Amino acid sequence: MAKQAWVDQDECISCGVCIDNIPDVFRFAENGKAECYDPNGAPEEEIENNAIDACPVSCIHWKE
């Protein structure tokens, strides 16, 4: 099974960096926090570089 991105919504500050960078994978949930709605919407490398590494509070993680 491939790795999937997961957002710790308790840590998310709703900055939108992941959504701006990869809108095919991330969106705002009803609670205003980011969520990964399509973990297969981008290659793992793109998610790593443009969401996980770009998150200012490091709330996006890999879940296997």
Q: What one-letter code names the amino acid at 5?
A: A
- Which pLDDT does position 60 carry in this prediction? 98
d(CA 32, CA 58): 17
d(CA 41, CA 63): 16
Fold of 4-63: Alpha-Beta Plaits (3.30.70)
* Residue 56 reports pLDDT greater than 90: yes
* Residue 1 reports pLDDT greater than 80: no
pLDDT (tens digit per residue) in 12-49: 999 999 999 999 999 999 999 999 999 999 999 999 99
d(CA 22, CA 1): 22
Q: What one-letter code names the amino acid at 31?
A: N
- Whether the Cβ atoms of residue 24 and residue 61 lie closer than 8 Å to each other: no
- Which pLDDT does position 27 carry in this prediction? 98
d(CA 24, CA 17): 13
Q: So where are the chain's domains?
A: 4-63
- Which pLDDT does position 2 carry in this prediction? 76
